Structure 1
Amino acid sequence: MRIAFGAPFVARALAPLLLLVPLLAHAAEPAPNEVQIRIDERQYRAAGIEITRVEAEAGTTQTILPGTVSVPPQQLRVVAAPAAGLVEAVLVAPNEPVKAGQPIARLRSTDLLEAQRTYLQALSAERLAAEKLRRDEQMHRERIIAERRLLTTRADYDYARTTLQEREQMLALLGMAEVDIRAVRDQRRMVPALTVSAPADGVVLEVRTTAGERIAPAAPLFSIAQLDPLWITLQLPLAQANAIVPGTRVAVPGTPAQGEVVRLGRSVDPNTQSLAAVVEVSDGAEALRPGQVVSASVALRPNGTPQWRLPSGSVVRHAGQSWVFVRSSQGFRARPVVVIAETASTVSIRASLTAEDQVATRGILSLLAELTEVYGG
């Protein structure tokens, strides 16, 4: 027996299906940040592509990264020899704390004697010019000399005074304290030795000279640093670059040292394919030593994006991003993800996936080639 259906009945029966057509078409379209790779079942089987279902994670709160402790550049002072001479005595030792102005070395220098000699000459010339100016001003008031002579005398005095200031500044640049310069001026007696002083509070990291050594001008003598705060330069894998931002908290396990990321490098080390992330340790810096290699625990802030665990070969790098290939009805969708942590066998990512999604784990070179062709790079 055959049952015939009229046109109105067919229209009513197909109406719900017709309403689903736009929704299915919309669902088939990739998101703006995804790339659709069209490949059928036979092709992806032939390419040796294997897929697996994603595994949800509760959320990794930290990752461990290697780093090296260093002194911030603005806290490091290199004390150089102010003049050529003979090191008479070294007054501090490595790792010794010093205060600003504390004597750290004595230096005998012929350059210092020459600078004092020219200073005393300039001092005599300035006093002579001052006396001549005083006398000519008196004679000009009494109308004995012309104004032109007074102007010449005044110019000579200005030159003598400027020369004296220059010579005095030279003594200061050579490291003489103001009280010592005043003693040379008042007593007119030269001193053969120069005291080198610490420029700031800190710790002597390095002593680069010894007593009895002859040194050249500007030769480095000491390295002095303030050791609070300190920096830790982390080696951040390129795949994890998007997971860490300035302000991310960092701790050194087993020590009270804590701080936060203050700067992310823009260049990549060609040998390790890693970025430099600079951490400023503001708490517990006394537990660290410059040059020390540490393993730092980096706290990752949750951002509302689900976190998943995949086999380590599931994630590829392309065009400055990390990608996974999600199975779809038309093949695969290349979806950008943020890598949180990696081990030899697994990788943790943050991505907008669902528990039903399946990603490619093997044979993904063919998919990467398609991504390169479509996305560019």
Structure 2
Amino acid sequence: MKRILLSVWAGLFVLQASNNSWAANACEVVGADTAQENHCSPVSAQSVLDLSNEQIDNLDIKLAALEKADEIPLLTASARVIVPPENEQIVSTTVAGMVSRIHVADGDAVQQGQVLAQLNSPELLALQRDYLKRASEAQLAEAVYRRDRKLQKEGIIPQSRWEETLSRFNVAKAKAQEAKQMLLITGMTETEAGQLLASRRLNSLLEISAPIGGTILQRSASVGERLTANTPLFRIANLEQLWLELSVAQDRIDVLTVGDKVKVAGTEAIAEIVLLGRHVDKQTQSVLARAVLAGPQAELRPGQTVNALAIKRIETAAFKLPQSALVQSEGRDYVFVRTGQGFEVKPAEVIGRHEDAVFIVGELDGSETVAVRGAAALKALWLESGSAE
């Protein structure tokens, strides 16, 4: 075996000497300028390595087919799943009182308008009483208004009295509207306010309803608890749409562009980047990148921290190879494509890298088989043979 290898290497050195001599003589004969025009340069000389199957086996060359790629990984980053602000609401009590009933728990799905809890509130009684009083005063002022309008038309009362009556009526009506609005702010509906006005029966029980349909993310009160006005009771969110907030190192944010896609590790979720932040967090030195997830997500939950992979879709023919398949010469990248006689050296342009993989484009159609191990040995033979000198 050693004799065979020595014979192979000896043959290659003879080939190198012959090629070097021919190349040097050719470039000397035509001159420097003509040599440049005729590509007597390292990267444009003969790009074929003639090797037998036995020689390839002895060099421990491993081959693999080109793997087509339609996307390029850009970077990985930690991301947090959040609910868009317009899809999340805090449900609070607008009056002081004691919680008498709670009808839902964390994680429950609720419909818009569904009763979540009941509150027993003396303050609500005061608001109802004020509304009934203001409504009665407005009714009385309206009666006087109608009477004086008729008298004014008949010329029985002066214009000044009519204007005073009209002013008092407008003030009374405004106060009644204000008292009604205060009740509506507490959570009473128009129907309930109308029933109160018709029955004139006060009720200290206030029903707290869901302002939107969604899921209860947090319950903050318990039955029997006394609350002040504006105390949060529930946090409710519509989970049909979720966002990802990626923390990207500030020196890597320029890799991303709006429209790039984001994959979430361990799931089928796909998101699209819609915003690249302009602010650097002073503690983490990271920049926010926001991505919108496509459709409802059963595998992701608000508050969850995930590993995200940003990718760029590509339309040109590109291929994925292990880093070991690529060699460099004079600043250019090459791959060794298997042929019937050995290998053809083809230039490649690297358009992306991720971990130990490279993504390339070049004069390749995807049907080729390339050397993915032993490329360094092939490069040495290529250089020694004079093809790259």
Q: Is residue 95 of structure 2 the alignment partner of residue 83 of structure 1? A: yes
Q: Distance in 1 between matches of 2:351 and 2:82?
A: 27
- Say whether the 8 Å CA contact 1:259–1:280 is kept in structure 2: yes
Q: Distance in 2 between matches of 1:185 and 1:193?
A: 16
AA matched with 1:86: M
Percent same amino acid among aligned pairs?
33
Q: Distance in 2 between matches of 1:341 and 1:153?
A: 83
Q: Which residue of 2 aligns with 1:201?
A: 213
- Say whether the 8 Å CA contact 1:239–1:339 is kept in structure 2: no
- Say whether the 8 Å CA contact 2:138–2:176 is kept in structure 1: yes
Q: Which residue of 1 aligns with 2:172?
A: 160
SS of the counterpart of 2:279? coil
How many Å apart are 1:341 and its aligned residue? 5.6
- Say whether the 8 Å CA contact 1:172–1:178 is kept in structure 2: yes
Q: Which residue of 1 aligns with 2:298?
A: 286
Q: Which residue of 1 aligns with 2:279?
A: 267
Q: Which residue of 2 aligns with 1:61?
A: 72
Q: In structure 2, which of residues 240, 249, 257 is the aligned counterpart of residue 228 of structure 1?
A: 240
Q: Is residue 235 of structure 2 the alignment partner of residue 237 of structure 1? A: no
Q: Is residue 116 of structure 2 the alignment partner of residue 104 of structure 1? A: yes
Cα separation, partners in 2 of 1:134 and 1:276, compared to 1, 3 Å: same
Cα separation, partners in 2 of 1:340 and 1:111, compared to 1, 3 Å: farther
Give the number of aligned pairs.
282
Q: Distance in 1 between matches of 2:115 and 2:156?
A: 56
How many Å apart are 1:303 and its aligned residue? 8.9
Q: Which residue of 2 aligns with 1:256?
A: 268
Cα separation, partners in 2 of 1:255 and 1:17, compared to 1, 3 Å: closer
Q: Which residue of 1 aligns with 2:143?
A: 131
AA matched with 1:160: A
- Say whether the 8 Å CA contact 1:107–1:193 is kept in structure 2: yes
- Say whether the 8 Å CA contact 1:67–1:293 is kept in structure 2: yes
Cα separation, partners in 2 of 1:341 and 1:176, compared to 1, 3 Å: farther
What RMSD, in angstroms, separates the aligned Cα atoms of the two structures? 3.5
SS of the counterpart of 1:239? coil
Q: Is residue 192 of structure 2 the alignment partner of residue 191 of structure 1? A: no
Listed one character per residue, the Cα deviations across residues 63-95 of structure 1 (whole Å, up to 9, x for unaligned) are 433211111111110011111111111111101
AA matched with 2:80: T
Map residues 1-377 of structure 1 onto 2, 5 A cutoff. Answer: 61-62=72-73, 63-302=75-314
AA matched with 1:224: I
Cα separation, partners in 2 of 1:340 and 1:173, compared to 1, 3 Å: farther
How many Å apart are 1:143 and its aligned residue? 2.4
AA matched with 2:153: R
Q: Distance in 2 between matches of 1:167 and 1:341?
A: 67
AA matched with 1:61: I
Instruction: Give unmatched runs, 5+ long, in structure 2.
Output: 1-28, 37-66, 324-329, 332-349, 361-389
How many Å apart are 1:283 and its aligned residue? 3.1
Q: Distance in 2 between matches of 1:58 and 1:103?
A: 56
How many Å apart are 1:302 and its aligned residue? 4.3
Q: Distance in 2 between matches of 1:237 and 1:139?
A: 80
Listed one character per residue, the Cα deviations across residues 84-118 of structure 1 (whole Å, up to 9, x for unaligned) are 11111111110101111110010111211111111
AA matched with 1:163: K
Q: Distance in 2 between matches of 1:265 and 1:95?
A: 32
Q: Distance in 2 between matches of 1:257 and 1:347?
A: 23
Q: Distance in 2 between matches of 1:58 and 1:104?
A: 54
How many Å apart are 1:249 and its aligned residue? 1.3
Listed one character per residue, the Cα deviations across residues 328-376 of structure 1 (whole Å, up to 9, x for unaligned) are xxxxxxxxxx996665xx79799xxxxxxxxxxxxxxxxxxxxxxxxxx
Cα separation, partners in 2 of 1:233 and 1:288, compared to 1, 3 Å: same
- Say whether the 8 Å CA contact 1:259–1:283 is kept in structure 2: no
SS of the counterpart of 1:199? coil
Larger Rg: 2
SS of the counterpart of 2:239? coil
- Say whether the 8 Å CA contact 1:126–1:164 is kept in structure 2: yes
Listed one character per residue, the Cα deviations across residues 141-172 of structure 1 (whole Å, up to 9, x for unaligned) are 33221121111111110111111111111110
Q: Which residue of 2 aligns with 1:32?
A: none
Listed one character per residue, the Cα deviations across residues 171-230 of structure 1 (whole Å, up to 9, x for unaligned) are 101111111100111111111110010001110000000010011111111000011210
Instruction: Give unmatched runs, 5+ long, in structure 1.
Output: 1-12, 21-56, 311-325, 328-337, 351-377
Q: TM-score, normalised by structure 1?
A: 0.66
Q: Distance in 2 between matches of 1:149 and 1:298?
A: 77
How many Å apart are 1:309 and its aligned residue? 9.9
